[in-house]
Amino acid sequence: MPSKPTGRPRGRPKGSKNVPTLEAFVVESIMAPTIVSPSSPPGAPRGPWADMTPQERSAYSKALNARRRSHRGGKPFGVPRRMTVAQHEAHQAAQQPGINRIMTKLGERHHLPDDPRAVEALTVAMTVLRSPIASKDKVAAARLILDFTKHRPTVKAEKAVKTAEELLDELAASQAAPSSI
């Protein structure tokens, strides 16, 4: 016997002496009525739109989509966390003259594509490059700008293929030379 109480009951739990036997359990389960839960037939519509007409379902889905779009909240895409929307717009407005100057210089040097949509895409990429966002996005924008404005240098690979006569001449020269062993 422990000297101080452990908080746990000792001995057999109450009611464990009168455990029903297997036969009593089987008889009780046979005599008990079975309860069948009502279920809908297979393929029956379920949910809030089950009793709606097609027009009501269409209006309901449009309302759900509008509610989903209205709960977006937060800042627009592209605004850094540490800036407000107004600060971000002010920063972009301050960077715009420099971006326009760079784009005109690229146009004077004929590095811009002929398509105006491509020029607009390069302007947006330049804006991303000059904005205070994550460095991986800046690197991707810089790669895009370089791909469209600068041509990659071509690598000249000279293959030295020897003809059969040259190979035979080398072998003859190596055999004619005395070996110093």
The mean pLDDT value of the chain amounts to 81
Checking if the pLDDT of 46 tops 70, the result is yes
Checking if the pLDDT of 58 tops 70, the result is yes
The structure's pTM equals 0.44
pLDDT tens figures, 125-148: 998 888 888 888 889 888 888 887
Distances (CA, A) of 83 to 38, 93, 94: 57, 14, 15
pLDDT tens figures, 79-124: 888 888 899 899 999 999 999 999 899 889 888 888 889 889 889 8
- Comparison of pLDDT for 143 and 11, the residue scoring more: 143
Distances (CA, A) of 43 to 38, 39, 46: 15, 11, 9
**CA angle at 81 for the pair 143 and 87, rounded to the nearest 5°:** 90
Least Cα distance to 145 among 130, 125, 131, 128 occurs for 125
